[in-house]
Amino acid sequence: APDPRQTPQTAAPGADVSAGPAAAVCVACRAGRVDSDGYCENCGHAQPRERDHMEQESGPVAAISDRGLRHHRNEDAFGLGRTALPDGTAASVAIVCDGVSSATRPDEASLAASRTASEFLLAALPRGTHPQQAMHEAIVAAAQAVDALAGEPAGAREHSPHQNAPACTLVGAVVTGELLVVGWVGDSRAYWVPVDRAAPAARLTEDDSWAAQMVAAGLMSEAEAYADERAHAITGWLGADAYELEPHTASFKPDRPGVVVVCTDGLWNYAESAEEMAQVLPLDAGTRPLHSARVLVGHALDGGGHDNVTVALVPFPLPSQGAGSA
Protein backbone atom coordinates (compact mmCIF):
# COMPACT_ATOMS: atom_id res chain seq x y z
CA ALA A 1 0.00 0.00 0.00
CA PRO A 2 1.27 3.49 -0.71
CA ASP A 3 2.65 5.55 2.14
CA PRO A 4 -0.11 7.89 3.31
CA ARG A 5 2.61 10.52 3.51
CA GLN A 6 4.49 9.45 0.43
CA THR A 7 7.42 11.45 -0.81
CA PRO A 8 7.68 13.52 -3.97
CA GLN A 9 10.72 15.09 -5.54
CA THR A 10 12.16 18.55 -5.76
CA ALA A 11 14.47 20.85 -7.54
CA ALA A 12 17.86 22.22 -6.74
CA PRO A 13 18.19 25.56 -4.96
CA GLY A 14 18.20 28.45 -7.36
CA ALA A 15 16.50 26.48 -10.12
CA ASP A 16 13.43 27.72 -11.91
CA VAL A 17 10.79 25.40 -10.53
CA SER A 18 7.72 26.82 -12.22
CA ALA A 19 5.22 24.13 -13.05
CA GLY A 20 4.16 25.86 -16.23
CA PRO A 21 4.07 23.97 -19.52
CA ALA A 22 7.21 23.73 -21.59
CA ALA A 23 5.24 24.78 -24.68
CA ALA A 24 1.75 25.98 -25.63
CA VAL A 25 1.21 22.85 -27.75
CA CYS A 26 1.13 19.36 -26.24
CA VAL A 27 4.37 17.41 -26.61
CA ALA A 28 2.40 14.14 -26.90
CA CYS A 29 -0.37 14.72 -29.43
CA ARG A 30 1.16 17.86 -30.96
CA ALA A 31 -2.35 19.28 -31.37
CA GLY A 32 -3.97 20.16 -28.04
CA ARG A 33 -3.39 23.33 -26.08
CA VAL A 34 -1.84 23.11 -22.64
CA ASP A 35 -3.88 24.43 -19.70
CA SER A 36 -2.54 26.40 -16.74
CA ASP A 37 -2.00 23.22 -14.74
CA GLY A 38 0.32 21.78 -17.39
CA TYR A 39 -2.08 19.23 -18.95
CA CYS A 40 -3.16 18.90 -22.58
CA GLU A 41 -6.79 19.93 -23.11
CA ASN A 42 -7.00 17.43 -25.99
CA CYS A 43 -5.35 14.21 -24.77
CA GLY A 44 -4.85 14.97 -21.08
CA HIS A 45 -1.12 14.28 -21.22
CA ALA A 46 0.95 15.97 -18.47
CA GLN A 47 3.61 18.21 -19.96
CA PRO A 48 7.27 18.03 -18.87
CA ARG A 49 8.04 20.16 -15.82
CA GLU A 50 11.29 21.72 -14.72
CA ARG A 51 11.31 19.54 -11.62
CA ASP A 52 10.70 16.25 -13.44
CA HIS A 53 14.45 15.64 -13.46
CA MET A 54 17.01 17.82 -11.68
CA GLU A 55 20.77 17.32 -11.38
CA GLN A 56 23.33 19.42 -9.53
CA GLU A 57 27.00 19.23 -8.58
CA SER A 58 28.67 21.38 -5.93
CA GLY A 59 32.35 20.54 -5.76
CA PRO A 60 32.66 16.93 -4.58
CA VAL A 61 28.91 16.64 -3.80
CA ALA A 62 26.17 15.74 -6.28
CA ALA A 63 22.42 15.16 -6.23
CA ILE A 64 19.67 14.04 -8.58
CA SER A 65 15.89 14.18 -8.22
CA ASP A 66 13.60 12.37 -10.65
CA ARG A 67 9.81 12.22 -10.91
CA GLY A 68 9.86 8.44 -11.27
CA LEU A 69 7.55 6.40 -13.45
CA ARG A 70 4.24 6.49 -11.58
CA HIS A 71 3.77 10.00 -10.15
CA HIS A 72 2.45 12.90 -12.22
CA ARG A 73 4.86 15.37 -10.60
CA ASN A 74 8.05 15.42 -8.57
CA GLU A 75 7.43 16.38 -4.96
CA ASP A 76 10.97 15.71 -3.70
CA ALA A 77 13.59 18.43 -3.39
CA PHE A 78 17.25 18.81 -2.49
CA GLY A 79 19.74 21.47 -1.48
CA LEU A 80 23.52 21.26 -1.90
CA GLY A 81 26.43 23.46 -1.05
CA ARG A 82 29.99 23.73 0.19
CA THR A 83 31.68 26.25 2.40
CA ALA A 84 34.52 26.46 4.92
CA LEU A 85 34.70 26.45 8.71
CA PRO A 86 36.42 29.35 10.49
CA ASP A 87 39.72 27.41 10.47
CA GLY A 88 39.54 27.01 6.69
CA THR A 89 38.46 23.35 6.79
CA ALA A 90 36.16 22.45 3.92
CA ALA A 91 32.54 21.56 4.68
CA SER A 92 29.88 20.09 2.41
CA VAL A 93 26.13 20.11 2.94
CA ALA A 94 23.38 17.96 1.41
CA ILE A 95 19.67 18.16 2.27
CA VAL A 96 16.96 15.92 0.78
CA CYS A 97 13.23 16.39 1.36
CA ASP A 98 10.23 14.29 0.41
CA GLY A 99 6.85 15.95 0.10
CA VAL A 100 3.91 14.21 1.78
CA SER A 101 1.59 13.33 -1.08
CA SER A 102 -1.55 13.24 1.06
CA ALA A 103 -0.92 16.84 2.16
CA THR A 104 -1.64 19.97 0.16
CA ARG A 105 1.18 21.47 -1.96
CA PRO A 106 3.79 18.86 -0.97
CA ASP A 107 6.12 20.06 -3.72
CA GLU A 108 6.18 23.53 -2.16
CA ALA A 109 6.86 22.05 1.28
CA SER A 110 9.86 20.04 0.14
CA LEU A 111 11.31 22.95 -1.80
CA ALA A 112 10.90 25.38 1.10
CA ALA A 113 12.44 22.94 3.59
CA SER A 114 15.41 21.95 1.44
CA ARG A 115 16.28 25.52 0.53
CA THR A 116 15.87 26.82 4.08
CA ALA A 117 17.91 24.05 5.71
CA SER A 118 20.77 24.11 3.21
CA GLU A 119 21.01 27.92 3.25
CA PHE A 120 20.92 27.93 7.05
CA LEU A 121 23.79 25.43 7.28
CA LEU A 122 25.89 27.26 4.71
CA ALA A 123 25.50 30.44 6.77
CA ALA A 124 25.96 28.88 10.23
CA LEU A 125 29.02 26.70 9.62
CA PRO A 126 31.39 29.57 8.64
CA ARG A 127 30.32 31.39 11.82
CA GLY A 128 31.68 28.55 13.91
CA THR A 129 28.42 26.86 14.93
CA HIS A 130 29.14 23.20 15.70
CA PRO A 131 27.90 21.09 12.76
CA GLN A 132 25.55 19.01 14.91
CA GLN A 133 24.01 22.08 16.55
CA ALA A 134 23.79 23.75 13.15
CA MET A 135 21.95 20.72 11.77
CA HIS A 136 19.43 20.81 14.62
CA GLU A 137 18.80 24.53 14.11
CA ALA A 138 18.56 24.07 10.34
CA ILE A 139 15.79 21.48 10.78
CA VAL A 140 13.91 23.83 13.12
CA ALA A 141 14.24 26.64 10.55
CA ALA A 142 13.03 24.31 7.78
CA ALA A 143 10.03 23.32 9.89
CA GLN A 144 9.15 26.97 10.41
CA ALA A 145 9.36 27.57 6.65
CA VAL A 146 6.97 24.69 5.98
CA ASP A 147 4.66 25.83 8.81
CA ALA A 148 4.45 29.25 7.16
CA LEU A 149 3.05 27.70 3.97
CA ALA A 150 -0.14 26.85 5.86
CA GLY A 151 -0.82 30.57 6.20
CA GLU A 152 -1.33 30.25 9.91
CA PRO A 153 0.93 30.68 12.95
CA ALA A 154 2.84 27.66 14.19
CA GLY A 155 0.49 27.51 17.15
CA ALA A 156 -2.25 26.36 14.79
CA ARG A 157 -1.01 22.81 15.25
CA GLU A 158 -2.48 22.93 18.77
CA HIS A 159 -5.90 24.19 17.71
CA SER A 160 -6.41 22.22 14.50
CA PRO A 161 -3.84 19.42 14.53
CA HIS A 162 -5.53 17.52 11.71
CA GLN A 163 -5.51 20.23 9.10
CA ASN A 164 -4.12 19.00 5.80
CA ALA A 165 -1.22 21.47 5.79
CA PRO A 166 1.80 21.26 3.45
CA ALA A 167 4.26 18.70 4.83
CA CYS A 168 7.50 16.90 4.02
CA THR A 169 10.28 14.77 5.46
CA LEU A 170 13.90 15.90 5.71
CA VAL A 171 17.27 14.21 5.90
CA GLY A 172 20.62 15.94 5.69
CA ALA A 173 24.35 15.45 6.05
CA VAL A 174 27.26 17.74 6.85
CA VAL A 175 30.79 16.49 6.20
CA THR A 176 33.85 18.32 7.48
CA GLY A 177 37.49 17.28 7.81
CA GLU A 178 36.94 14.63 10.48
CA LEU A 179 33.23 14.73 11.24
CA LEU A 180 30.07 13.38 9.64
CA VAL A 181 26.78 14.76 10.97
CA VAL A 182 23.33 13.61 9.93
CA GLY A 183 19.92 15.01 10.83
CA TRP A 184 16.41 13.90 9.95
CA VAL A 185 12.68 13.96 10.53
CA GLY A 186 10.54 11.32 8.80
CA ASP A 187 11.58 8.30 6.78
CA SER A 188 14.13 9.70 4.35
CA ARG A 189 17.49 8.09 5.11
CA ALA A 190 21.27 8.44 5.20
CA TYR A 191 23.63 5.50 4.64
CA TRP A 192 27.38 5.14 5.12
CA VAL A 193 29.18 3.11 2.45
CA PRO A 194 32.96 2.70 2.91
CA VAL A 195 35.23 2.77 -0.12
CA ASP A 196 36.61 -0.56 1.10
CA ARG A 197 33.57 -2.73 0.55
CA ALA A 198 35.08 -5.41 2.79
CA ALA A 199 34.18 -3.09 5.67
CA PRO A 200 30.50 -2.97 6.68
CA ALA A 201 28.10 -0.33 5.39
CA ALA A 202 25.61 1.18 7.84
CA ARG A 203 22.32 3.01 7.95
CA LEU A 204 22.83 6.23 9.91
CA THR A 205 19.18 7.19 10.49
CA GLU A 206 16.14 5.58 12.12
CA ASP A 207 12.78 6.07 10.41
CA ASP A 208 9.97 8.00 12.02
CA SER A 209 7.49 5.37 10.82
CA TRP A 210 4.89 2.90 12.02
CA ALA A 211 7.12 -0.06 11.16
CA ALA A 212 10.11 1.35 13.03
CA GLN A 213 7.93 1.97 16.08
CA MET A 214 6.64 -1.60 16.04
CA VAL A 215 10.18 -2.98 15.82
CA ALA A 216 11.49 -0.65 18.53
CA ALA A 217 8.66 -1.67 20.85
CA GLY A 218 9.46 -5.34 20.28
CA LEU A 219 5.96 -5.99 18.95
CA MET A 220 7.02 -7.24 15.52
CA SER A 221 10.13 -8.39 13.73
CA GLU A 222 11.56 -6.07 11.08
CA ALA A 223 10.40 -8.43 8.33
CA GLU A 224 6.87 -8.56 9.75
CA ALA A 225 6.65 -4.81 10.30
CA TYR A 226 7.81 -3.83 6.84
CA ALA A 227 5.50 -6.38 5.22
CA ASP A 228 2.48 -4.70 6.82
CA GLU A 229 0.47 -2.27 4.72
CA ARG A 230 0.94 0.34 7.45
CA ALA A 231 4.73 0.05 7.38
CA HIS A 232 5.50 3.32 5.63
CA ALA A 233 3.02 5.51 7.48
CA ILE A 234 5.30 8.17 8.91
CA THR A 235 5.08 9.35 12.49
CA GLY A 236 7.23 12.46 12.16
CA TRP A 237 7.29 15.19 9.52
CA LEU A 238 7.70 18.94 8.97
CA GLY A 239 4.43 20.83 8.68
CA ALA A 240 1.88 22.85 10.61
CA ASP A 241 -0.10 19.69 11.42
CA ALA A 242 2.90 17.90 12.98
CA TYR A 243 2.06 17.20 16.61
CA GLU A 244 5.55 17.86 17.88
CA LEU A 245 8.81 18.58 16.09
CA GLU A 246 11.56 16.23 17.20
CA PRO A 247 14.69 16.76 15.07
CA HIS A 248 17.08 13.81 15.23
CA THR A 249 20.82 14.41 14.87
CA ALA A 250 23.86 12.17 15.18
CA SER A 251 27.58 12.64 14.60
CA PHE A 252 30.22 10.14 13.55
CA LYS A 253 33.97 10.09 13.04
CA PRO A 254 34.57 7.52 10.30
CA ASP A 255 37.93 5.76 10.47
CA ARG A 256 38.16 5.22 6.71
CA PRO A 257 37.12 6.86 3.42
CA GLY A 258 33.57 6.38 2.27
CA VAL A 259 30.45 7.99 0.83
CA VAL A 260 27.30 9.25 2.54
CA VAL A 261 24.12 8.38 0.60
CA VAL A 262 21.26 10.78 1.47
CA CYS A 263 17.97 9.72 -0.10
CA THR A 264 14.19 9.50 -0.11
CA ASP A 265 12.28 6.24 0.11
CA GLY A 266 11.86 6.35 -3.64
CA LEU A 267 15.42 5.01 -3.71
CA TRP A 268 15.77 3.00 -0.52
CA ASN A 269 12.63 0.99 -1.24
CA TYR A 270 14.78 -0.67 -3.92
CA ALA A 271 17.91 -1.01 -1.74
CA GLU A 272 16.64 -1.03 1.82
CA SER A 273 19.50 -2.51 3.81
CA ALA A 274 22.92 -0.91 4.06
CA GLU A 275 24.38 -4.00 2.39
CA GLU A 276 22.00 -3.65 -0.56
CA MET A 277 22.82 0.04 -0.91
CA ALA A 278 26.54 -0.77 -0.91
CA GLN A 279 26.02 -3.33 -3.66
CA VAL A 280 24.24 -0.81 -5.90
CA LEU A 281 26.58 2.15 -5.27
CA PRO A 282 29.45 2.25 -7.80
CA LEU A 283 32.93 1.66 -6.40
CA ASP A 284 34.12 5.06 -7.66
CA ALA A 285 31.25 7.02 -6.06
CA GLY A 286 33.69 9.10 -4.01
CA THR A 287 35.33 10.50 -7.14
CA ARG A 288 32.36 10.38 -9.54
CA PRO A 289 29.37 11.35 -7.39
CA LEU A 290 27.10 12.62 -10.18
CA HIS A 291 27.63 9.50 -12.29
CA SER A 292 27.00 7.35 -9.22
CA ALA A 293 23.82 9.25 -8.36
CA ARG A 294 22.59 8.54 -11.90
CA VAL A 295 23.30 4.84 -11.36
CA LEU A 296 21.28 4.83 -8.13
CA VAL A 297 18.33 6.66 -9.70
CA GLY A 298 18.47 4.24 -12.62
CA HIS A 299 18.35 1.32 -10.19
CA ALA A 300 15.12 2.67 -8.67
CA LEU A 301 13.56 3.32 -12.09
CA ASP A 302 14.54 -0.17 -13.29
CA GLY A 303 12.90 -1.54 -10.15
CA GLY A 304 9.60 0.12 -11.04
CA GLY A 305 10.04 3.79 -10.14
CA HIS A 306 6.88 3.77 -8.03
CA ASP A 307 7.83 6.98 -6.24
CA ASN A 308 9.84 10.12 -6.82
CA VAL A 309 13.55 9.31 -6.51
CA THR A 310 16.05 11.70 -4.93
CA VAL A 311 19.62 11.03 -3.81
CA ALA A 312 22.63 13.12 -2.81
CA LEU A 313 26.14 11.73 -2.45
CA VAL A 314 28.78 13.25 -0.16
CA PRO A 315 32.30 11.76 -0.05
CA PHE A 316 34.28 11.47 3.18
CA PRO A 317 36.83 12.84 3.65
CA LEU A 318 36.32 15.84 1.43
CA PRO A 319 39.03 16.77 -1.08
CA SER A 320 41.41 19.15 0.66
CA GLN A 321 41.58 21.72 -2.12
CA GLY A 322 38.98 24.17 -3.33
CA ALA A 323 36.81 24.58 -0.25
CA GLY A 324 35.41 27.93 -1.46
CA SER A 325 31.85 29.03 -1.17
CA ALA A 326 29.10 27.31 -3.10
pLDDT tens digits in sequence order for the chain, 326 residues long: 434 333 333 344 443 333 333 457 887 788 888 888 778 888 887 777 889 999 999 999 999 999 999 898 999 999 999 999 999 999 999 999 999 999 999 999 999 999 999 999 999 999 999 999 999 999 999 999 999 999 854 444 444 544 689 999 999 999 999 999 999 999 999 999 999 999 999 999 999 999 999 999 999 998 898 889 898 899 999 999 988 899 999 999 999 999 999 999 999 999 999 999 999 999 999 999 999 999 999 999 999 999 999 999 999 999 864 434 44
Q: Give the pLDDT score at 289.
A: 97
Whole-Å CA distances, 35 to 67, 70, 101, 140: 20, 21, 22, 37
φ, ψ (nearest 5 deg) of residue 293: -65, -40
**Could you tell me where the DSSP H helices lie in the chain?**
106-124, 131-149, 156-159, 210-216, 222-227, 265-268, 274-280, 289-302
Buried b (16+ CB within 10 A) or exposed e, 269-285: bbbeebeebbebbbeeb
Q: Which of 316, 56, 322, 4 is nearest to 182 (CA)?
A: 316
* CATH superfamily, domain at 51-316: PPM-type phosphatase domain (3.60.40.10)
How would you list the strands of the sheet with 189-194, edge to edge?
Answer: 53-58, 61-66, 309-316, 258-263, 189-194, 202-203
Is 119 strand, coil or helix?
Answer: helix
Is 172 strand, coil or helix?
Answer: strand
Angle between helices 131-149 and 106-124 (to 10 degrees): 150
Q: Give the pLDDT score at 291.
A: 98
CA distance 167 to 176: 30
CA 55 to chain centre: 13
